[in-house]
Amino acid sequence: MTTNNKPRVLYVDDEQNNLNSFRANFRREFTVFTALSGTEGLAILEKEFIEIIIADQRMPEMTGVEFFEKVVDVYPEGIRILLTGYADIEAVINAINKGQIYKFIAKPWKEEEIRVAVNNAKEVFDARRELKVKNESLQKAYDELDRFVYSVSHDLRSPLVSIKGVIYLANQEVKDEKALEYFGMANDMVEKLDEFIHNIIDYYKSTHDGNVASSLNIEKTLKEIKEEYRFHPHMENTTFTYEIHGGDTFTTNEVKFRIILNNLISNAMKYKNPDKVHHYVTVNVTKETDGVFVSVQDNGIGISENSQEKVFQMFYRDAKGNSGSGLGLYLVKEAVRRLNGTIELISNLGDGTTMKLWIPNFVSDGTQG
Amino acid sequence: MELKDKIGVVLIDDSMIDRMIVKRNMELYNNSLRYTAYEGAQEALLALKKGALSVDSEYTVVLLDIYMPEMSGFQFIDEVEKLESSITERLIVFMLSSSIDERDRQAVENRQSIVKLLNKPLTREILDEVFEYCRQRLSVAEE
């Protein structure tokens, strides 16, 4: 790599005189390499680090454009300038359209014109190179984040799940009431931490998994969620039902749609009203041509009017106990926003909560994250 | 015909505490099934090749952890799939993992030779599900 940052220029021309005068003119400003033919030029490109390639169009054996066609294959980064003394417009237009040349200069070339063109080309070369380096480091950071999230999802969760397993066994084998009470408390905290891990991963997924749209089977998704709750402690005295009207599939971003359903259903399950014998959670999905209406309804503790606007804020927790991570509804709101949908909360303290959503069909247009 | 005359249960998991959890669950379940635990997939594969994965069992239920040093659960399956069908058709493989990575769930779904992904920790309900599956697949009546 150069230390003085002079443009490194390869000039290819079949006339030795042109090469000599080029060298004489620019050897102070540029690091100059010359070649008498395209073949010779390609040989130099193999050995030397070149930034800018200038070639004459009219050469026997291989024209300038033909030479550049070969250069593009082996060394696309080099900035290519074509010199042309004849009316080779056809060839030039062709080359420009194929993106093979950066600039063309009429022959006989003037010193100043070459100087300006080379210096501009050098700036383009450096900018592209810098962009490439930045892209690579961004990709690296992205990969590291990926590994980090993976590590959170596995290395952090795996011991937590072992603790759950031990508490589960203790609950079956231990008879001491005080001990059981302590195990219960430990379990609550473990559940809370686990929920937090799920939320962190959801958050990461919703911001990084991009905006892929796919056809989602609503029935299958809800069935899977129901399956996940089959043995869950939340299912005690609880009925979970769902109804789907108007069709089974709709186009959406699956990651975000799942985050919405998972969090709303999990909340509806969790916040039971202790005064009621039976708890129910009902999900209703109605498909329209341009999207779906979703409602998630429960007869749980409800949300006080005072808290209703705050529950969607990041890290806000409704005062009762310490069951939530403060992330769930924030994630829901963000996912709804990115899907261009709306969400409405209807709740009376003590009666239960209904979340009503409209999620339009999702079209990935490359701008939404 | 009882299930215990047909199948043995094998766990492959590098975590000592997770092996304890499964072992104790099996004891509490009390269906007198043969139970063997392996600390690594390599070791289990060797035993499988020698026909000694679960001694004297016609069929073997394998509870397989995904993330293990040296050989992962999926790598183990890769190796198992290379073996003769006379060996593989006697295996009933479940993944048992704490992973919530979507890619793992997909990978399990794409493998014909894995029944399904079970979420840790193991519980009586999950064992119910596993044995119910075995009963149906092997046409063994409820005890």
How do beta strands B59-64 and B7-12 pair?
parallel
CA pair distance A94, A100, nearest whole angstrom: 9
Instruction: Report the amino acid identity of residue A54.
Output: I
Q: Of A15-24, A82-91, A336-345, B19-28, which gets the smallest average pLDDT?
A: A82-91
Q: How many helices (H) and strands (E) does chain B have?
A: 6, 5
Residue B113: the pLDDT is 92
Distance CA(B51)–CA(B64), nearest Å, equals 18
Question: How confident is the model over A114-160, as pLDDT tens digits?
Answer: 999 999 999 999 999 999 999 999 888 888 887 777 777 778 899 99
Nearest Cα residue in chain B from A258: B102
A164 vs chain B: nearest CA distance in angstroms?
A: 6
Q: What is the pTM of this model?
A: 0.64
B98 chain-A contacts, CB cut-off 8 A: 154, 157-158, 160-162
Chain A interface, mutation test: which of B19, B63, B98, most A Cβ atoms within 10 Å?
B98
* ipTM here: 0.89
Which chain A residues have a beta carbon less than 8 Å from that of B101?
150, 153-154
Tell which residue, A125, A135, A75, has the closest CA to residue A100: A75
Q: Calculate the CA dihedral of residues A123, A124, A128, A129 and round it to 10 degrees.
A: -40
Cα separation, B67 vs A158, whole angstroms: 10
- Closest chain B CA to residue A163: B121
Instruction: Give the pLDDT band of residue A368 (cuts 50, 70, 90).
Output: very low
Mean pLDDT on B86-96 = 93
Determine the residue of chain A that is closest to B18 in CA distance. Answer: A162
DSSP result, B98-127: ----HHHHHHHHT-TTEEEEEESSP-HHHH
Yes or no, beta carbons of A198 and B100 under 8 Å apart: yes
- Residue B18 pLDDT level (bands cut at 50, 70, 90): very high
Give the number of A-B residue pairs with CB atoms closer than 8 Å: 56
pLDDT band at A2 (very low <50, low <70, confident <90, very high): very low
Task: For residue A299, give the amino acid letter.
Answer: N
Q: How confident is the model at residue A28 (pLDDT cuts 50, 70, 90)?
A: very high
Rank A103-112, A173-182, B51-60 by mean pLDDT and report only the highest.
A173-182
**Average pLDDT of chain A, as a whole number:** 87
